[in-house]
Amino acid sequence: MKNNSENPFEIFRKECENILKEAWNNSKKELFKKNKKSEIKKIFFNLDVPPSLQLGDLSSSLCFKLSKQLKITPNTLAQVIVDNSDLSKASMITKVEVAGGGYINFYVDYEKLSKLAIESALILNSSYGYVKTDIPKKIIVEHTSVNPAGPIHVGTARNSILGDSISRLLRARGHKVNTHFYIDDVGKQIAVLVYGYKMIDQPKPKGKADHWIGLIYAITNSILEIHELKKQLKEVPIEEKNRVQIKLDDWVAAAADLYERDKILFNTIHRAIKKDHSPQDNIAEIMRFYEMEKIETKSLVRRVVEIWLRAYRETYSRVGIHWDSWDWESNLVWNGSVSEIIDKLKTSPYFSSTNETALLKIDEIAEEMNLKTLFNVSKKHEIPPLVLIRSDGTSLYPTRDIAYSLWKLQQADKVINVIGVEQTLIQLQLRVALSLLISSKRVMDMIHYAYELVKVPDYKMSKRRGRYVAFDDIINEAVKRAQQEVNKRSPDLSTELKQRIAEAVGVGAVKYALTEVAPKKQVIFTWEKVLNFEMNSAPFIQYAHARACNILKKAENKQKQPNYALLNENIEKEIVKKIAIFPEIFIDACENLTPYIINEYANDLAAKFNSFYARYPVLKADEDKLKDARLAMVNAVKIVLRNSLKLLGIEALERM
């Protein structure tokens, strides 16, 4: 056996699969003769990792599925297969036995697994675990794309951090990945912002630019909403007045909050809007003129968006997130891509237009092209039509997104769009519309990576009302709290080093919190959980890594040839197994786009390592060979924790 492997546990797994298949083939004649069977279809020789070492290192539930067809108990069937198992060809299996009423459990030779897994980690080092794909692809990951009308909030940040971790996983797997940021600079939100910016005579930003821009947008929007609702209150029937009044009261409360945040800015915008007899017409004109690429409007909108972008880049640079391409939505309008799409769709029998709108009959397309089954939609579900053009001739976001999606699919083999779960319907409509233009098989190469929002207890977020938990504030608070913890735990470190550690701990804590649950589950953001140094957090894993570094630093002499047979404590075996299984976890996370299983894995390894550290000496082990073996294991743990954290964009610290 080689002294290293990019996937050590796979060697043991394949041996078990081969033994199981061979044993089944050897058992069939006896079993079929008794049960008058000639063949059984669809046999899956899957093997799972049991929850404890006492139940083996890999386990098969094959017999539970076959027992009904063969009319024999799972336990009896399992015993027949075990009796027909020949371990003479296996190098890593020590025994196979029946357990749990019909499970077949395989046990690994831990001396061999320890040597293979630990030395693989030590030799491959920074590349250990990152098993390369046999079929590398060009992949675009589009994430964080938002309207430039405010700062990054904690919900947007989840999008960014998920997109970044997916990109890191796929790059480590060997794919050519390009990250794209789609700048949504066309539409009403940006027009409202630019209108408000004009109302204050286009000054230089005050404070951090994206926060300042968000305030301008929220103030302008709230004043306009109040103005419109007051008009409605005078015009609606009596039975509708209560509903309108409730909405008006909510907007008045939002405006009062915004007034307290910046009274001068609020009053300036309010006075200017009061003098404007047609604010909505002027906003519509900004939208129309920008799509027409009128020089003055284009210059103004681009100036505002560039101010916002610089502030965004500043924040994301702080947390180590960058993009390969910044794609402007407006360019798709100006270069004719959107018009071309509309012209093509107009020739479709599913296109319909009135004086007010032009739309596409999405449900009819899906039914006639049999797309509901392909896109995993119930046949009973009626998909609403997709509006393509407004009455004033301006395009809508989904229309522009059709053009953008076609462009991305031309650049890459696969496109992954990280977009909130609330956009599921629009993404479905988009895919159906695309199927009119290109093959539905090609459309399947575009994935909607849906994620749920972030909930901050006792706080309701709304960008339109200026209510959000800014990502900058979250990071600043996390670093501040981390600083307090570092001061308490390591008072002797220099001020500069403490600050650097606090920054890495704070940023890492927030990143971990926003990736640790499955994307379609809501994140409940609480500081008690985010900065928990004792369990399930980035600081917990970073601390375990720093502990491993500290042990290795204190080792007086270089490790000799370790005797891995001495690593026979259960916790040592569990750690060895975790080290060996890391490549399989990595492959699973890549193939299923599930970065959260890396969080789970790293947390579990850190917990096992801390448990080992609390119970067994390393530098003061009873004999040198045991010390050498444990030092090699500690080094492998350090490498795997670092490589795991890197996939999440979290720094592995050597001191804390």
Q: Please state, in angstroms and rounded to a whole number, the distance separating the CA atoms of residues 189 and 443.
A: 29
DSSP state of 177: E
In the numeric block, which tokens belong to residue 234? Answer: 């005078």
In sequence order, the β-bridge partners of residue 419 are 450
Q: Is the pLDDT of residue 338 over 90?
A: yes
Bigger pLDDT: 71 or 571?
A: 571
In the numeric block, which tokens belong to residue 507? Answer: 């940023």
Q: Letter for the amino acid at 549?
A: C
8-17, 24-33, 460-469: the lowest-pLDDT one: 460-469
- pLDDT at position 527 is 83
Which helix or strand (DSSP H or E) is residue 104 part of?
Answer: strand 103-108
In the numeric block, which tokens belong to residue 525? Answer: 């953001």
Helix/strand/coil (H, E, C) string of 331-381? HHHHCCHHHHHHHHHHCCCCEEECCCCEEECHHHHHHHCCHHHHCCCCCCC
Q: Residue 190 in contact with residue 184, Cβ under 8 Å?
A: yes
On the CB side of 193, how many CA atoms lie within 13 Å of its CA?
A: 31
pLDDT tens track for 180-193: 999 999 999 999 99
Bigger pLDDT: 256 or 469?
A: 256
- pLDDT at position 205 is 87
Could you tell me which of 65, 69, 82 has the C-alpha nearest to residue 34? 69
pLDDT, mean of residues 407-417 = 97
Q: Residue 502 in contact with residue 433, Cβ under 8 Å?
A: no
> To the nearest 10°, the Cα dihedral for 641, 163, 208, 204?
150
Q: Please state, in angstroms and rounded to a whole number, the distance separating the CA atoms of residues 227 and 240.
A: 17
- pLDDT at position 561 is 80
Q: Residue 641 in contact with residue 544, Cβ under 8 Å?
A: yes
Q: Please state, in angstroms and rounded to a whole number, the distance separating the CA atoms of residues 568 and 508.
A: 34
- pLDDT at position 68 is 83
User: Buried b / exposed e across 470-481, counting CB within 10 Å, b at 16+?
Assistant: bbbebbebbbeb
Q: Please state, in angstroms and rounded to a whole number, the distance separating the CA atoms of residues 50 and 343.
A: 58
Please spell the DSSP secondary structure of 454-506, one letter per residue.
EE-TT---BTTTTB--BHHHHHHHHHHHHHHHHHHH-TTS-HHHHHHHHHHHH
- pLDDT at position 392 is 78
pLDDT tens track for 131-147: 999 999 999 999 998 88
Q: Please state, in angstroms and rounded to a whole number, the distance separating the CA atoms of residues 492 and 484.
A: 13
- pLDDT at position 453 is 86
Q: Letter for the amino acid at 131?
A: V
- Directed axis angle between helix 209-235 and helix 295-318, to 10°? 120
In the numeric block, which tokens belong to residue 213? Answer: 């821009």
Q: Is the pLDDT of residue 467 over 70?
A: no
Q: Please state, in angstroms and rounded to a whole number, the distance separating the CA atoms of residues 453 and 451.
A: 7
Bigger pLDDT: 2 or 604?
A: 604
- pLDDT at position 38 is 60
- pLDDT at position 98 is 96
- pLDDT at position 72 is 87
Q: Is the pLDDT of residue 30 over 80?
A: no
| Averaged confidence pLDDT in the chain | 92
Q: Which of 338-342, 422-426, 536-540, 648-652 ranks highest by mean pLDDT?
A: 648-652
Please state, for a pLDDT cut of 70, what percent of the chain lies above it.
Answer: 96
pLDDT confidence of 31, banded at 50, 70, 90?
confident
Distance of CA 538 to the CA centre of its chain: 16
Domains of the chain, CATH where assigned: 8-108 (3.30.1360.70), 139-187+328-455 (3.40.50.620), 188-318 (no CATH), 473-647 (1.10.730.10)
Entry pTM: 0.92
Q: Is the pLDDT of residue 356 over 80?
A: no
> Long-range contacts for 365-374 (Cβ within 8 Å, ≥24 apart)?
365/432, 365/433, 365/435, 365/436, 366/432, 369/432, 369/435, 369/440, 371/431, 371/432, 371/435, 371/440, 374/440, 374/444
Q: Residue 595 in contact with residue 513, Cβ under 8 Å?
A: no
Q: Please state, in angstroms and rounded to a whole number, the distance separating the CA atoms of residues 234 and 232.
A: 5
- pLDDT at position 81 is 94
Q: Residue 542 in contact with residue 505, Cβ under 8 Å?
A: yes
3-state secondary structure of 140: strand
pLDDT confidence of 41, banded at 50, 70, 90?
confident
- pLDDT at position 557 is 66
In sequence order, the β-bridge partners of residue 104 are 60, 98
pLDDT tens track for 501-559: 999 999 999 999 999 999 999 998 888 888 887 888 999 999 999 999 999 999 866 65
- pLDDT at position 458 is 61
3-state secondary structure of 407: helix
In sequence order, the β-bridge partners of residue 179 are 141
At residue 278, φ and ψ (nearest 5 deg) are -140, 60
Q: Please state, in angstroms and rounded to a whole number, the distance separating the CA atoms of residues 398 and 392.
A: 17
How many angstroms separate the first and last alpha carbons of the chain? 39
Label residue 204 exposed, middle or buried (CB < 10 Å: 0-12, 13-18, 19+): exposed
